[in-house]
C-alpha cells in the first residue's frame, strides 16, 4: 500500500468544499435577485 506523503491533498474533500462554496454563491445570487432587487 502506498504510504501517504506529508501534506498530500485529499482531492475529493477539497473538491467538495470548493463545489459547496460555488453552489452557495450561485444560490445567494439566485435568491438575492428575487429577494433584494
Partner 1 sequence: MDGRQSFFLSIALVSYVVRIWAMSTGYHRYFSHRAFRTSRFFQFLLAVAGTLTIERGPLWWAAHHRHHHRCADQEDDIHSPTVQGYFWAYVGWMHCKKYSAATDYTRIKDFSRYPELLWIDRYYVVPPLVASVLIWVLAGPAVFVWAVLVGTIIQWHALFGSNILCHLLGRRRFDTPDTSRNNAVSAVLLLGEGWHNNHHYYPGSARQGFYWWEVDLIYYSIKLLEKCHLVWDVREVPEDVLLRGRYHAAVGSAAQ
The Cα–Cα gap between 5 and 25 comes to 33
19 binds partner 1 (CB under 8 A): no
To the nearest whole angstrom, how small is the minimum distance from the Cβ of residue 20 to partner 1?
Answer: 7
Distances (CA, A) of 13 to 8, 10, 20, 24, 30: 12, 5, 11, 17, 26
6 binds partner 1 (CB under 8 A): yes
To the nearest whole angstrom, how small is the minimum distance from the Cβ of residue 14 to partner 1?
Answer: 4
Backbone angles phi, psi at 10, to 5 degrees: -90, 100
Applying CB under 8 A, which residues contact partner 1?
4-10, 13-14, 17, 20-21, 23-24, 27-28, 30-31, 34-36
Amino acid at each position: 500500500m502506498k504510504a501517504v506523503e506529508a501534506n498530500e491533498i485529499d482531492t475529493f474533500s477539497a473538491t467538495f468544499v470548493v463545489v459547496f462554496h460555488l453552489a452557495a454563491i450561485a444560490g445567494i445570487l439566485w435568491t438575492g435577485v428575487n429577494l433584494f432587487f
